[in-house]
Structure 1
């Protein structure tokens, strides 16, 4: 993303939106404010942002619904959700809806900046042309490294987050190798994960629903109890 990155801030608290807008504009970002989901959708119609930072709890359509809509219609937009400190359920559901990351309130602006930068780096990783033979099969699905897209057997696109793409790419680069959570975090270039939380397990669960014939009995990404995960599919480049 050689041009200035666009950040869409969605929150029903005008003061918080203004604080984030002024801070990120001072850091060189183009910031678009929205006080509700309807205003955010209008901004998407004009120009989708690179990253959307949104609050979960808003009047009318909430952040979870907006995140799900964004992931379905704009899969390459990064999503960072703002949650109430200690609200584990919000965090879990947010990740289930397709969020790339989450930040509990109250937060330090420097942390938000670091998370946005990290997410943009992951998105940028997909822009250079991938090597030839840049397609990888995961069971009946196919991962296109050039376009960073996952498709089913009929060629229909399956919405995935940038983090999910990074995880699939990491597994494909390490076939038949057990990877623990720390290794997955490092290899997938995600510095935002908390080593002690279970968000990576939630992401693996989401991936299984998209690539496994029977997600409850995974054959592609297996759990190695007490250690981590192993990719054991006959994935072919």
Structure 2
């Protein structure tokens, strides 16, 4: 997936901001569609596939958080960048809990938004191995993670990973057996400003997909006061 020329959907109930973002992001080389609320966003998503959603949190009716959570439950893995007027840590964590890949507080510099979009698109790009790259797929019980394709496969087929989940698993797989601090993980997945709690949220989401019992993890372990470690195995 390229850094530019991506298909973006901007969802915000502020008509002026929608227009500004559509024009600015188009100048960055992207193809930009807009929606004023969740209903318009659903219609746009039904009509075409997007590379990334820029989604406002505070919208009348179905909020951005509710829409993101519903899309994730429905199996959509398109990256989501949340916009909100509330930028404290609890709000950022709520965004990640509802399926966001990144979070940007209003007011923001459009150049920072463009940079965040480029980062997310690079992170979600297929055939982009982490550095250093692990040697081949990583076994996690009956599932295998292929870092070259950012794919998690099992007896049931390919399991859906969001961009954030794939980036987290790739970062841990690249240093399998090593304990990574939350700060190292946040830097590796491109969200250093999001804080430690957001890493914990991403870990919780990932465990639901790789562990038989997320409450008793076999592969993704918490090392108290230090961070997390991935221990592959049968």
2:233 aligns with 234
Partner of 1:18: 19
Counterpart pick for 2:152 among 150, 153, 157: 150
Match of 1:99 in 2: 100
**C-alpha distance in 2, partners of 1:163/1:23?**
25
Aligned partner of 1:169 in structure 2 is: 170
TM-score (norm 2): 0.86
Check the 8 A contact 2:22/2:32 in 1, yes or no.
Answer: yes
Distance 2:160 2:59 in 1: 25
Shift of 1:170: 2.1
Correspondences of 1:1-237 after superposition (within 5 Å): 1-2=1-2, 4-71=5-72, 72-75=74-77, 77-124=78-125, 126-127=126-127, 135-145=137-147, 147-155=149-157, 157-188=158-189, 190=190, 192-194=191-193, 196-234=195-233
Q: How many residues end up aligned between the 2 structures?
A: 229
Measure how far apart 1:147 and its partner are: 4.6
Give the superposition deviation at 1:87: 4.7
Local SS of the residue matching 1:122: helix
Q: TM-score normalized by structure 1?
A: 0.85
Rounded to whole Å, the distance in 2 between the matches of 1:143 and 1:110 is: 34
Q: Distance in 2 between matches of 1:158 and 1:96?
A: 19
Query: Unpaired segments of 5 or more residues in structure 2?
Result: none
In the alignment, the residues of structure 2 paired with residue 148 and residue 196 of structure 1 have an alpha-carbon distance, to the nearest angstrom, of: 24
SS at structure 2 position matched to 1:8: strand
Structure 1 unpaired stretches of 5+ = none
Sort the Cα spacing of 1:129 and 1:47 in 2 relative to 1 into closer, same or farther, 3 A: farther
1:216 CA displacement: 2.0
For residue 196 of structure 1, report the CA deviation from its aligned partner.
4.0
Shift of 1:197: 4.1
Q: Deviations over 1:31-52 (max 9, x none)?
A: 1110011111121122211111
Does the CA-based 8 Å contact 1:142-1:153 persist in structure 2? no
Q: Distance in 1 between matches of 2:114 and 2:50?
A: 16
| Contact 1:98/1:160 (8 A) holds in 2 | no
Q: Structure 1 28/60 Cα, relative in aligned 2: closer, same or farther at 3 Å?
A: same
Sort the Cα spacing of 1:41 and 1:134 in 2 relative to 1 into closer, same or farther, 3 A.
farther
Aligned-residue offset at 1:29: 1.5
